[in-house]
Structure 1
Amino acid sequence: MLICFNGVDGSGKSFQAQRLMERLDQAGYPAVQVWNGGKSSVTRYIIMVGKRVLGAPQRRELGKKAPPQTVARYNAYLGSMQRMFRRRWLRTLWLHISLLEHALEIWVATLPHLMRGRVVISDRYLYDTVVNIAVLSGLPADELPALLRATRFYPVPRPQRWFFLDVSPEEAFRRKDDIADLAFLERRVPLYRQLAGEYGLVTLDAAADPDTISELIWSQVEPLLPRSASAVV
């Protein structure tokens, strides 16, 4: 079984994924948590050069304590990227390279566990790549479905349960210390909401009590489990 969590940084994905894994383990079901956020294994050198040329700040420089000039450099970098990705051919090329890279990561990180009969709990999934490309391109949420159609060329396991932890940009920003600018989240929240609507994700209010969220998640997962944990061991 594959269970996925999606949402912006600060929505509580990793926390709830860890809780679910612990609960499955306690119930006797073999479970593993993986991060499928999309590692730039192939494109990282291109990204590094691009960031250096465009004057992007280093990740370690970003955060709530980042000085205004660092935030301005980040926003200028993002503006430059958006101007580049307005070229449809470039956006499409980068999207397919990134999706192939991400799909390979999922196949390597997820398929072996599924083949061994484990429950795989995935923090993020293939569609995060599409959201990132939409942000880099400055596309509005209503144009996301056109990008999502590209994922059909990259078959990955379909989640049996797929959760979207919905939270406002302001609440997510309050929770995170490594995000320099509220706009980072404001660009992403509408895109994730569009994604959730397109694929029918189970939407949960991430601002609710964490224990309540955990119980709601368990109520969705438990009916899918074999009646006896020994059936999957």
Structure 2
Amino acid sequence: MNKPQNICLLGVDGSGKTALATAYLKRLNKTGEPAVHVWSRYRNYLSKPFLGVMRLTGHNRKEMIDGVKIGFHDFSENRFIAYSFLMFQWLDQVIDIVYRFRRRRGNIVCDRCVIDTLVDLCVDTGMDGYIFGRYGKSLITLMPKGTVYFIVNRNKSLVFNSRPDVRADKNYDRRIKLYSRAAKIFGLIFLDNDGSIEYSIEQIVKQVD
């Protein structure tokens, strides 16, 4: 039975990605197909100094919303800042893909990946068309061949009940729409996670077998 080397679980916070990744890893290990768990988000290798400067200018800040501290990147009003951030993030993603994916052998179960970063960047800069165009495609083509991407979907009320902090994200609904748009552009698979973990895992197995 041939399985793709890489399974990537994507989606908004609280959708259940980490729980599914852990369960799927256990399944692979039981069937004699060991895999590694990779978490890939906020990889600011080269962006960190830039974000430090943006903190001084107020474009990178944290706010308390309903008792939850939320970080915001307000780069959409200044194209120079937006393009600069995208340049640094592109380089950061290349480094991350090479280090965490390309150099590895065997099965990888990924909890978030470059597509989650693309969604974050759309929220940060408002440059959706550019990011989901040549910019994003140039990064996704660097991922290992055979990678299968699942957008983990969960009912909003279930998300908010399990993760009250997610309510504080004023961009939650926009993120949902961005993931739907990414699915159409990049051919991603929606994974229903409103039921049991076992049910969701079986959906993954059916897709990759």
How far has the Cα of 1:110 moved from its partner?
1.9
Runs of at least 5 residues in structure 1 that lack an aligned partner in the other structure: 224-233
How far has the Cα of 1:146 moved from its partner?
3.3
| Structure whose residues are more often strand by fraction | 2
Q: What letter is aligned with 2:114?
A: L
- Partner of 1:18 in structure 2? 22
| Structure whose residues are more often helix by fraction | 1
| Counterpart Cα distance in 1 of 2:189 and 2:157 | 22
CA contact (8 A) 1:162 1:201 kept: yes
How far has the Cα of 1:39 moved from its partner?
1.0
| Counterpart Cα distance in 2 of 1:208 and 1:51 | 41
In structure 1, the residue corresponding to 2:144 is in which secondary structure? coil
Please state if 1:49 is matched with 2:53. yes
- Partner of 1:146 in structure 2? 130
Tell me the alpha carbon deviations over residues 105-158 of structure 1, each in whole angstroms, 9 at most, x when there is no partner: 1211122322xxx1011111112222111101235xxxx353222134342324
**Larger radius of gyration between Structure 1 and Structure 2:** 1
Tell me the alpha carbon deviations over residues 47-104 of structure 1, each in whole angstroms, 9 at most, x when there is no partner: 133234317227xxx57533xxx77xx6xx55x43323xx2x5433322320220121
Structure-2-length-normalised TM-score: 0.82
Runs of at least 5 residues in structure 2 that lack an aligned partner in the other structure: none
Sequence identity (%): 24
| Counterpart Cα distance in 2 of 1:42 and 1:3 | 27
Please state if 1:34 is matched with 2:38. yes
- Partner of 2:83 in structure 1? 92
Aligned-pair Cα RMSD in Å: 2.5
C-alpha distance 203-218 of structure 1, shift in aligned 2 (>3 A): same
- Partner of 1:108 in structure 2? 99
Tell me the alpha carbon deviations over residues 158-185 of structure 1, each in whole angstroms, 9 at most, x when there is no partner: 4432111123545433322444614231
1:81 to 71, 75, 78: 75
Structure-1-length-normalised TM-score: 0.75
Tell me the alpha carbon deviations over residues 177-208 of structure 1, each in whole angstroms, 9 at most, x when there is no partner: 44461423122111011111212212112223
Please state if 1:202 is matched with 2:189. yes
C-alpha distance 92-182 of structure 1, shift in aligned 2 (>3 A): closer
CA contact (8 A) 2:25 2:37 kept: yes
- Partner of 1:65 in structure 2? 67
How far has the Cα of 1:36 moved from its partner?
1.7
